[in-house]
Structure 1
Amino acid sequence: MERAEAARDLVLGYVRALNAIDEAMRVAIPSLERLADIVGLARSRQMGRSGHIGTYFYKVHGAGCRFVSENGTEVDVDFAADGSAIFDLWRLRRYGLSLAEPFDVTDQDLQTAVQSLQPLLTEVRPGWFRVAD
């Protein structure tokens, strides 16, 4: 598999993992309207800043949260002011390195992959992306 295709698969894997986390969190916390609400729950001390929810370990940080699945796959995400999940190339690379078969990819390959996935992904500010509605 060529590097560009592998980078594209990595980005799509991150998006699938993020969607799976969103779904798992909504099942575990029925009052959750969107994944970003986890940050508010932690800040208001309705839940800890870190812990386990379902099959995920989570750690709230700044404007986002890092989720680690039972198999060690890491999905780190920030949240925009509107609550949308956003990510950058660093977060995509960390995801790739956390896979059962770690995959390291260059920023250029990731940038090309993200651009090839528009309009599925939207650049919300330079270097930061979200899944389109």
Structure 2
Amino acid sequence: MLGYVHALNAIDEAMRAAIPSLERLGDVLGLVRSRRIISRSGHVGTYSYTVHGAGCRFVSDDGAEVDVDFAADGSEVFDLWRLRCYGLSLPEPLDVTDHDLRSAVRSLQPLLHEVRPGWFSVAIDRMRAQRRGI
């Protein structure tokens, strides 16, 4: 669970370093859709990315997959399915049950909070955004 959060933070940093106009990871959608500044898929640093529907799928060079959606306010949100996919994509795959994932999410509160039933966000996102003046 924490691995997903750390990977998401690393992706955020890599994307913002590579794309100066990106203030937060959720801005990827706007750059692809309205301004066409970046392509729907590509490679940034050690990650490949593919923008989809309401989010983006990132895959590191070692094959670890982080799929994230973005809420209306641009915050990063994810569900148990995305956490499971991350675990299964690791070099040493982790296959956990929904029950175990829910328990892990509960144990990480207040770091993680449920933004709507079954969807979670990292509370640090808000602190990160405030530090950057967003």
TM-score between both structures, scaled by the size of structure 1 = 0.91
Deviation, 1:31, is: 1.2
Aligned to 1:113: 104
The partner residue of 1:37 within 19, 27, 36 is: 27
Which ranges of structure 2 fall in alignment gaps of 5 or more residues? 127-134
Higher relative contact order (CA 8 A, sep 6+): 1
Unaligned residue ranges in structure 1 (runs of 5+): 1-10
Deviations 1:66-119 (A, max 9, x none): 000011000000000011000000000000000000110000100010011100
- Written as runs of structure 1 = structure 2, the 5 A alignment for 1:88-107 is 88-107=79-98
- Which residue in the other structure is 1:5 paired with? none
Q: Distance in 2 between matches of 1:31 and 1:39?
A: 13
* DSSP 3-state at the match of 1:18: helix
Q: Deviations over 1:11-44 (max 9, x none)?
A: 1000000000000011101111100011111112
Residue type of the partner of 2:76?
A
Count of residues paired in the alignment: 123
Query: Which amino acid counterpart does residue 20 of structure 1 have in structure 2?
Result: A
Return the TM-score normalized by structure 2.
Answer: 0.90
Match of 2:39 among 37, 40, 48: 48
CA distance in 2, matches of 1:58, 1:12: 21
2:9 corresponding residue in structure 1: 19
> Which amino acid letter does the alignment assign opposite residue 56 of structure 2?
C
| Structure 1 segments (4+ residues) deviating >4 Å | none
Say which SS state the counterpart of residue 83 (structure 1) adopts: coil
Q: Percent identity?
A: 77
